[in-house]
Structure 1
Amino acid sequence: MSKQIMDPEPATALPSHNGQPFGVGADEQTPLLRDDITKPTDGTSSPTQDGDTGEAVLLAAPTSATRLWIILGTAYVGVFFGAIDASIIATLSGPIASEFHSLSLLSWLATAYLIANAACQPLSGRLTDIFGRGPGLVFSNLMFAAGNLICGVSQGEGTMIFGRVVAGIGGGGLMSISTFLASDLVPLRKRGIVQGLGNIAYGSGAMLGGVFGGVINDFSSWGWRLAFLVQVPVVVVSAVLVFFLVHVPPKVSNKSLVSRIDFTGAFLIISFLVVLLLGLNSGGNLVPWSNPLVLASIPVSVAILGALIWWEAGAKQPIIPVRLLVDRTILAACITNLVCTMVIMMAIFYVPLYMQVLGYSSTQAGLRILASPLGVCFSSVGSGYIMKHTGRYVGLGIAVVVIQTVGCIILSFLDSNSASWIPFVGMMLAGAGYGGMLTVTLLACIAAVDHAHQAVITSATYAFRSVGATVGITVASTVYQNILKKKLWERFGDLPGAAEQIAKIRDDLDELKHLPAGWYEGVIKSFMEAFRGVWLTALGLSLVGLVMTALMRHHKLHSSLDRQEENDEE
């Protein structure tokens, strides 16, 4: 990487595209919504207008690579701990749900975090355009710390879920704002490598989190609570570092701050996710699918989604740029993020549960999912290097989603007699495919829009990921619980006390150690059939992602932030 990269202090105006008006000389590789901006002739920094919002769009001037990595490294600390938190809950969800005697509510431990995550990530792009990346990261770190503190001291299920919501608000910003920073400071051609390194921060956190959470639960007298509490002081220190180090200038406008925030859009996003997930989580899990709560929530969520699309299409300051999403590349990339994230979350949350049903400890289960973030690390950086040297990404995107699909196929063959290394291989391939997909689709989306819209479109991709994570866990829980319940009743429904015993089995894994005589083999078979339903659902979604990736168009990966170089290598 060159010694002159980016300095977030002095700001340089974003120049026009070779002085041509919008539409002149455009082709399918031309970014969408390119703004007509006059290039300064006196060599000074002059603010330029974002055609959508009327705000001044600023580019940072060059600085040393050392300063760049200090800035990004500070941001990636938050990514690291956000990943630790996500993987800790993956390995500890069973023990936590068992302590609260509510295994059927297991999915809410994750989805409470992810609903908040999904709602706040699209907001973070717009809000940090207005207030700046630094203040956004400080706020996110503090919310994340507060959420983990609440989880660590919670004495009831409601408090635990509330803590996950607060942590999710912070975690959404930690993940997305670090990506905005990289897009602000690094040209597209090198952007894949930087994103790959950011994914290493995520992957290493995920690797350590799963094992660390299991070790704490198995060997600490505080149990799973310490896994949340230990993060708090470190994240607070990270917030202090961000406050002093990250100073990227926000967009400038003569409008008031409040008028630049799409409160209606934010409300509709949150409402859509909460109502949709309420129906999906409740149906067949807490109440029958015929319950009025389920029957009403799903169509209402669809209506809210329609209202969201209508509102955002006409909003002057949209949180989600609907008119950008109709572009083939962006739409295909966003759907790929949605379904592939559903796949990886199904694997991350249900492979440990599969291992624990077979008698493995939380630590041993954590070691199996360690393979997934390991695959993410290698694949994301490797994909970045390939795109840097070739300047192309569509074929690479197809290849990495094929790898994830192969991982799903391996998982679909798991049963109670499978060798313990098979889940490791399946998770490795699923993670490798997912890591490469993240890097490729992010670059595809950023390349398809102008610099002024990078943060907003990045927010959209993160929103699709968060929705995918949330819906993925919910769908997996629905498939798992319904198949498990059906198979248990088919095998044991006629036996005395079956209703009470089946309820205990579904709510507490420890009950597997105290089954009535003659029940064990049938119960394990029921669990295996439920898990296979999850794996086959993931496989189907992975195939959808493969089709979507193939539909992306190629856009030029520029070597400079102003995208004005005349002789980029392809």
Structure 2
Amino acid sequence: MVSPNEGEGQALLRTKSSTSSSHSSENTVNDINTSNETTNYGAVEDGSIRKVEDVKIYKSFKEIWPIFLGLTFAVFCGALGMTIVANLTIEIGSYFHAGSLASWLGTGFLLGLTAMTPLYGRLAQVMGRKGVMLLAVNLYLIGTIMCALAPSMGFMIAARIVAGAGSGGILTVSAIIISDLVSLADRGMYQGGTNLLFGAGSALGAVVGGAISDKLGWRAAFWIQVPPVIFSLFLIIWKVNVDREKGEDLGGNNIWEKLKGIDWLGSILLIFSISAFSTSSSLWTSSHYKLNHPFPLGLFISALITFPLFIWVEKKAQHPILPLTMLSRSQPRLILFGFFLTTLSNFSRLYMQPVYLHVTRGLNGSETGLLLLPSSIVGSFSSLYAGWHMRHWREYKWFQAIASFIPWLQALSLTIFWGPNTNKNELWIEMAFGALGGGITITTLLTSLIACVEPSELSLAISACYLSRALGQVIGLSISACIQQIILFSSLSSRFPNNIELVQKIIQEPSEILPLLDPIMNLQAKLAYLDSIRSVFIFVILGGISLSVVCLSVRGKRL
């Protein structure tokens, strides 16, 4: 061990052995050299002492492939469950005679995911990696079975919330476990593989759900998920045996002390704040409540009050679920803001592109899905390429910064050049181009985050990362929907000044009303939708430019 007194630029190097129950052979990190360890480039944090990555013994893929298979299979199932109701909402709503609540099948899942995600980092320290992963998978399994057995729409939405809570844990804890086992240089490859399966699950969800429902009924679409989830559960019980990082805050020496050590008050305040904000946003956008309606407005005000209370509680908590000391440092704070901006921009873009294809272009579901398919494929494989790039070139800063320009340049192109008759080849190429930048950025940002935190902070940092992503998604969709509705109403009102009833019908039922209009009125309605979509993409451009500034400010480090 090198004494810190021997030079200001040196740091303590710690060696940690990763062991498994089978005492398998271990691979050491390749190509470690002094110049790589001590050379940083780009923006640096305050202080003259630079952080050097811990020398640590990592596992090879040959040793951890059963663990990786179990984790990624669980991630695939979670992603499948997230989108499987996309083609089932109308059928389920009709079955329960509650079509007005159908949108909550997706919203409820995101609500559970967003509310529970920040807790999993702390639980990974208290319960251990395996324990909290089993909790997440079991929550998802229970929620899925509840969906298959649901006797009412209210029960169905509650079941989706439970499944979403489990899905959030699957994503978060999988990332924590993989980061425990592999080197920073290899981390991107594993994350890229995980993102590839997540993208595949998301893309297949709607297709599989619709196909199974057509032949066997909508309940079968949930039952069909149970066997693969149980298989994943078996793999996790059998193979996932990962130790906590040294120096992690366990919260006590026994189960009772650990349970008492959990920041329950902070957890409740955070869950309530996120849930209240998500619910109010959904009521305003999905359920079309008026802005001054007391119920969503009351929830929104409650969220604004409880979140500062959560921050106050965290400052005083002995074992906080979101360590403010980590957020007080410039690099982790900057990168987490980058995650927020990434999902805010990406989901706003992904939400509006189908609206353009459906309404402005008048395409049906199959044609829209076909044009969006290249984006899903490119987005997934770009994440895998990002992992290879970081491992091969051992850098991420400039690659990340350049990639961050791609999504907002695509949004700029849409705003300027897309119209009612834009060539279809131009559409799918540009949408795939935008997905390329999004897939790269989300992968490289995680490497940036892991590189700037201590190993003992890793689980909480990754949990904060997924919380930032979830908040960006919820806030991005809420703001996008709000902008789109306001501009759409304004544009339609100016084009049909004396027919407010028609304006309302075009907003509520565009696919049914537009074909009934004469060609001139039909074109005017499509142009109004185009105005609203362009306004949202101006918001996407602003978010994308902010992300590029963040990526340029992130400190780079040789991997």
TM bucket by the smaller chain?
Answer: 0.7 to 0.9
Letter in structure 1 aligned against 2:185: R
- How far apart are the structure 2 equivalents of 1:7 and 1:373? 38
Instruction: Check if 1:301 corresponds to 2:295.
Output: no
Which position in structure 1 is the counterpart of 2:424?
420
Give unmatched runs, 5+ long, in structure 2.
1-16, 27-45
Q: Are the structure 2 counterparts of residues 85 and 407 from structure 1 closer, same or farther at C-alpha, using a change threshold of 3 Å?
A: farther
Check the 8 A contact 1:98/1:509 in 2, yes or no: no
Q: Are the structure 2 counterparts of residues 511 and 200 from structure 1 closer, same or farther at C-alpha, using a change threshold of 3 Å?
A: same
Which position in structure 2 is the counterpart of 1:249?
243
Q: Are the structure 2 counterparts of residues 205 and 287 from structure 1 closer, same or farther at C-alpha, using a change threshold of 3 Å?
A: closer
CA deviation string 1:101-136 (max 9, x = no partner) = 999877644432222212222211111222122232
Matches within 5 A, 1:471-490: 471-490=475-494
Which position in structure 2 is the counterpart of 1:30?
51
Instruction: Check if 1:173 corresponds to 2:177.
Output: no
Matches within 5 A, 1:12-161: 27=48, 29-30=50-51, 65-89=61-85, 108-151=104-147, 158-161=154-157
Check the 8 A contact 1:203/1:373 in 2, yes or no: yes
Which position in structure 1 is the counterpart of 2:524?
522
- In the TM superposition, residue 276 of structure 1 has moved relative to its aligned partner by 2.1
Matches within 5 A, 1:220-235: 220-221=214-215, 226-235=220-229
Which position in structure 2 is the counterpart of 1:19?
none
Q: Are the structure 2 counterparts of residues 483 and 541 from structure 1 closer, same or farther at C-alpha, using a change threshold of 3 Å?
A: same
Which position in structure 1 is the counterpart of 2:203?
207
- How far apart are the structure 2 equivalents of 1:77 and 1:521? 46
The alignment partner of 2:513 has SS state of: helix
- In the TM superposition, residue 407 of structure 1 has moved relative to its aligned partner by 2.7
- How far apart are the structure 2 equivalents of 1:531 and 1:95? 28
Check the 8 A contact 2:70/2:233 in 1, yes or no: no
- In the TM superposition, residue 151 of structure 1 has moved relative to its aligned partner by 4.3
- How far apart are the structure 2 equivalents of 1:403 and 1:168? 31
Q: Are the structure 2 counterparts of residues 479 and 322 from structure 1 closer, same or farther at C-alpha, using a change threshold of 3 Å?
A: same
Q: Are the structure 2 counterparts of residues 92 and 477 from structure 1 closer, same or farther at C-alpha, using a change threshold of 3 Å?
A: farther
Q: Are the structure 2 counterparts of residues 359 and 67 from structure 1 closer, same or farther at C-alpha, using a change threshold of 3 Å?
A: same
Which position in structure 2 is the counterpart of 1:270?
271
- How far apart are the structure 2 equivalents of 1:203 and 1:408? 21
CA deviation string 1:535-556 (max 9, x = no partner) = 2222221111111112212345
- How far apart are the structure 1 equivalents of 2:310 and 2:184? 31
The alignment partner of 1:415 has SS state of: coil
Question: Which of 548, 551, 557 is the matching residue for 1:549?
Answer: 551
- How far apart are the structure 2 equivalents of 1:420 and 1:213? 27
- How far apart are the structure 2 equivalents of 1:491 and 1:98? 34
TM-score between both structures, scaled by the size of structure 1: 0.79
Letter in structure 2 aligned against 1:374: I
Which position in structure 2 is the counterpart of 1:335?
337
Letter in structure 2 aligned against 1:118: T
- In the TM superposition, residue 80 of structure 1 has moved relative to its aligned partner by 1.4
- In the TM superposition, residue 390 of structure 1 has moved relative to its aligned partner by 3.7
- How far apart are the structure 2 equivalents of 1:103 and 1:433? 37
- In the TM superposition, residue 193 of structure 1 has moved relative to its aligned partner by 1.8
Check the 8 A contact 1:397/1:441 in 2, yes or no: yes
Letter in structure 1 aligned against 2:232: S
Question: Which of 386, 395, 399 is the matching residue for 1:396?
Answer: 399
* Aligned residues: CA RMSD: 3.5
Letter in structure 1 aligned against 2:462: T
Question: Which of 407, 411, 428 is the matching residue for 2:410?
Answer: 407
- In the TM superposition, residue 76 of structure 1 has moved relative to its aligned partner by 0.4
The alignment partner of 2:395 has SS state of: coil
Check the 8 A contact 1:410/1:422 in 2, yes or no: no
The alignment partner of 2:555 has SS state of: coil
Which position in structure 2 is the counterpart of 1:239?
233
Check the 8 A contact 1:211/1:367 in 2, yes or no: no
- How far apart are the structure 2 equivalents of 1:362 and 1:227? 20
Moved more, 441-450 or 143-152: 143-152
Q: Which has the higher helix share?
A: 2
CA deviation string 1:267-312 (max 9, x = no partner) = 1211211222344334476333344445554444233222222222
CA deviation string 1:455-485 (max 9, x = no partner) = 1101101100011111122222222233333
Check the 8 A contact 2:515/2:522 in 1, yes or no: no
Which position in structure 1 is the counterpart of 2:352?
350
The alignment partner of 1:370 has SS state of: helix
- How far apart are the structure 1 equivalents of 2:131 and 2:259? 16
Q: Are the structure 2 counterparts of residues 26 and 343 from structure 1 closer, same or farther at C-alpha, using a change threshold of 3 Å?
A: closer
Give unmatched runs, 5+ long, in structure 1.
13-24, 40-58, 558-570
Check the 8 A contact 2:82/2:164 in 1, yes or no: no
Q: Are the structure 2 counterparts of residues 261 and 421 from structure 1 closer, same or farther at C-alpha, using a change threshold of 3 Å?
A: farther
- How far apart are the structure 2 equivalents of 1:351 and 1:208? 19
Letter in structure 2 aligned against 1:436: I
Check the 8 A contact 2:263/2:320 in 1, yes or no: yes
Which position in structure 2 is the counterpart of 1:182?
178
Q: Are the structure 2 counterparts of residues 109 and 506 from structure 1 closer, same or farther at C-alpha, using a change threshold of 3 Å?
A: farther
Letter in structure 1 aligned against 2:383: S
- How far apart are the structure 2 equivalents of 1:538 and 1:107? 24
Which position in structure 2 is the counterpart of 1:441?
445
Q: Are the structure 2 counterparts of residues 89 and 477 from structure 1 closer, same or farther at C-alpha, using a change threshold of 3 Å?
A: farther
Check the 8 A contact 1:112/1:168 in 2, yes or no: yes
- How far apart are the structure 2 equivalents of 1:305 and 1:438? 26
- How far apart are the structure 1 equivalents of 2:22 and 2:354? 49
Q: Are the structure 2 counterparts of residues 226 and 463 from structure 1 closer, same or farther at C-alpha, using a change threshold of 3 Å?
A: same
Instruction: Check if 1:371 corresponds to 2:365.
Output: no
Letter in structure 2 aligned against 1:30: K
Question: Which of 436, 444, 455 is the matching residue for 1:451?
Answer: 455
Q: Are the structure 2 counterparts of residues 188 and 178 from structure 1 closer, same or farther at C-alpha, using a change threshold of 3 Å?
A: same
Letter in structure 1 aligned against 2:124: T
Letter in structure 2 aligned against 1:524: K
- How far apart are the structure 1 equivalents of 2:514 and 2:220? 26
Q: Are the structure 2 counterparts of residues 132 and 469 from structure 1 closer, same or farther at C-alpha, using a change threshold of 3 Å?
A: same
TM-score between both structures, scaled by the size of structure 2: 0.81
Check the 8 A contact 1:148/1:231 in 2, yes or no: yes
Check the 8 A contact 1:116/1:165 in 2, yes or no: yes
Check the 8 A contact 1:488/1:502 in 2, yes or no: yes
- In the TM superposition, residue 149 of structure 1 has moved relative to its aligned partner by 4.1
